[in-house]
Amino acid sequence: MGYTLNFAAVWRDIDLLWAGLGMGLLLALASILIGVAIGLVMAFVLTSRSPARPLAASYVSIFRNTPLLVLILFTYFAMPQLGIRLGKLESFIAALSLYAGAYLAEVFRGALSAVPPGLSEAGLAIGLTRSQIRLNIVIPVMLRTALPSLSSTFISLFKDTSLAAAIAVPELTYYARKINNESFRVIETWLIASIFYVATCVLLVSLLRLAEKRLAIPK
Amino acid sequence: MDTFLTILWTARYALLGGLAMTVFISALAVLAGSVIGVFVGLVLSYARGPLNWLVRMYVDFVRGTPVLVLILASFYILGSLGWKLDAFQAGILALAVFCSSHVGEIIRGALSAIPRGQTEAAKAVGLTFGQSFTYVLLPQAARIALPAWVNTAVEIVKASTLLSIIGVAELLLSTQEVIARSQMGLPFYFLAGFIYFLVNFAIERVGKLAEKRLAMGVR
């Protein structure tokens, strides 16, 4: 085949990859925080008899069935025509958060139905208001039930941050492509970039497992 | 609105061609990925030793890497190794690999959900491993795996948009070309998103229908 591996070009720019990795983690973190908030609200609306329910259901269905790349391009390139002009980072975080929110709404809806009704009744019995019960009893319990799905959503959001490269947000894939195009060390670049991703995912999985164990609801 | 309709009419063949390409790419990737995925799932469930570790590593590596990175890596690396693959072939390869790792995990999960007694009963009536797999295990595993498999198909349709980045003229790239010519980002991104939604919504509906049809009689 006559291809000799030479990692020099990738090592020289390894700082870029680290910076890109940090950016990816930051984007994922911001999106999961906003996504959890959206998902919680949607889950409550979806399980209520409120007139907003069909609206929430269509939000979930639309954002789950539309490609993330289309959402990203739409928020960045098309929203300005509606007068909403966001920077690259903001529009990416907006798209990813809404995408995450749709997935998490379903996750939380499942978790919500797993919260024993006795808990809310006990809250009522000791004189808490509805919103106090939600905030102090139901949400903590459902978050803990949803923890495993929450961690896997976080991992896939981290991988999805690679799409930010499409609107030139400087994250890992963006820099990998840059190194690839400048050095032509094709195999080395993509090998190292994938190792960055895989290693981060493995690390995240084990960290989140640890958190899951710590926070699991005692049986 | 009038100009939009005029441009839409002029671009109708380009957009329909893009849609056909999207459907074709997705179908091919899901088909190839599912065939490989069944073998991956079999190896994960039944093989011991080095073969199991190798396939395990393959699945974990692919699942830890973003699809976009798989696509870019496949596109750039295969070319530099002297494989004459065009963007279309490299893209399908990456999507099929992505799909196979997911289907592999789904099949492994489904097989492990079948009670041991089924295999033992098959052995007791004198079926060979191949026979008991085809007649006893696979039909049950397929039913269990169906919902997750449908989700994977939706994911593949969404991931097929990433092929636009390496220049495959699927629906998103055709749309972007129309936008570049017409400067009408808002309606055309909206249209593309809507078409993707319809395709995926249809897949979901058909999946739900199939699930109902195939639901096991005894519960």
pLDDT digit string, tens, across residues B165-184:
999 999 999 999 999 998 88
Chain B residues whose CB is inside 8 A of the A186 CB are 76-77, 79-80
Q: At residue A14, does pLDDT exceed 60?
A: yes
* Cross-chain residue pair A71–B193, CB shorter than 8 Å: yes
| Residue A206 confidence (pLDDT) | 94
Residues A34, A97 contacting (CB under 8 angstroms): yes
In order of A77, B90, B175, B186, B216, the CA distances from A83 in angstroms are 11, 39, 22, 11, 53
Share of chain B above pLDDT 90, in %: 70
B186, burial (CB in 10 Å: exposed 0-12, middle 13-18, buried 19+) = middle
Chain A residues whose CB is inside 8 A of the B207 CB are none
| Residue B215 confidence (pLDDT) | 75
| Residue A9 confidence (pLDDT) | 82
Q: Round to the nearest angstrom and report the end-to-end CA distance of chain A.
A: 58
User: Count of residues for chain A?
Assistant: 219
Q: At residue B8, does pLDDT exceed 90?
A: no
Residues B28-54: what's their mean pLDDT?
Answer: 95
* Cross-chain residue pair B61–A198, CB shorter than 8 Å: yes
ipTM: 0.89
Give the residue with greater pLDDT, B1 vs A196: A196
Q: Which residue in the set A159, A187, A194 is minimally distant from B80, CB to CB?
A: A187
Written as six digits, the tokens of A26 are: 């930051």
Distance from CA of B213 to the nearest CA of A (A): 23
Find the residue in B nearest to A80 (Cα): B186
Find the residue in B nearest to A163 (Cα): B68
User: Count of residues for chain B?
Assistant: 219
Residues B43-47: what's their mean pLDDT?
Answer: 92
| Residue A216 confidence (pLDDT) | 83
Q: At residue A203, does pLDDT exceed 50?
A: yes
- Please state the φ and ψ torsions of residue A68, each to the nearest 5 degrees: -60, -40
Residues B175-204: what's their mean pLDDT?
Answer: 93
The contacts of residue A72 (CB under 8 Å, 6+ apart) are A91, A92, A95, A96, A163, A164, A166, A167
Distance from CA of B202 to the nearest CA of A (A): 10
Q: At residue B219, does pLDDT exceed 50?
A: no
Q: At residue A75, does pLDDT exceed 50?
A: yes
Q: What average pLDDT is seen over chain A?
A: 92
* Cross-chain residue pair B190–A74, CB shorter than 8 Å: yes
Chain A residues whose CB is inside 8 A of the B60 CB are 198, 202
Give the distance, in angstroms, between the CA of residue B201 and the centroid of all CA atoms in the same chain: 15
| Residue A2 confidence (pLDDT) | 61
Provide the pLDDT confidence category of residue A215 given band limits of 50, 70 and 90: confident
Residues B104, B59 contacting (CB under 8 angstroms): yes
Chain B residues whose CB is inside 8 A of the A197 CB are 64-66, 69
Provide the pLDDT confidence category of residue B67 given band limits of 50, 70 and 90: very high
Q: At residue A10, does pLDDT exceed 90?
A: no
Q: At residue A196, does pLDDT exceed 50?
A: yes
Surface of A (69-88) touching B: CB under 8 A? 69-71, 73-74, 77-78, 81-82
Residue A180 to residue A197: CA distance in whole angstroms: 16
In order of A52, B70, B168, B191, the CA distances from B78 in angstroms are 50, 12, 16, 34
Q: At residue B200, does pLDDT exceed 50?
A: yes
Q: At residue B60, does pLDDT exceed 90?
A: yes
Chain A residues whose CB is inside 8 A of the B189 CB are 70, 73-74, 77-78
Specify the range with the lowest mean pLDDT, choosing from A20-29, A182-191, B167-176: A182-191
Find the residue in A nearest to B154 (Cα): A65
Give the residue with greater pLDDT, A152 vs A2: A152
| Residue B216 confidence (pLDDT) | 62
Give the residue with greater pLDDT, A184 vs B194: B194
| Residue B130 confidence (pLDDT) | 87
Give the residue with greater pLDDT, A31 vs B4: A31
Half-sphere exposure of B68 (CA within 13 A, CB side): 25
Chain A residues whose CB is inside 8 A of the B161 CB are 67, 69-70
pTM here is 0.90
Q: What is the pLDDT of residues B93-111, one digit of tens each?
A: 999 999 999 999 999 999 9
In order of A25, B99, B119, B189, the CA distances from B28 in angstroms are 33, 11, 33, 25
Pairs of CB atoms within 8 A across A/B: 116
* Cross-chain residue pair B77–A71, CB shorter than 8 Å: no
Closest residue by Cα to residue A66 from B190, B168, B166: B190
* Cross-chain residue pair B172–A184, CB shorter than 8 Å: no
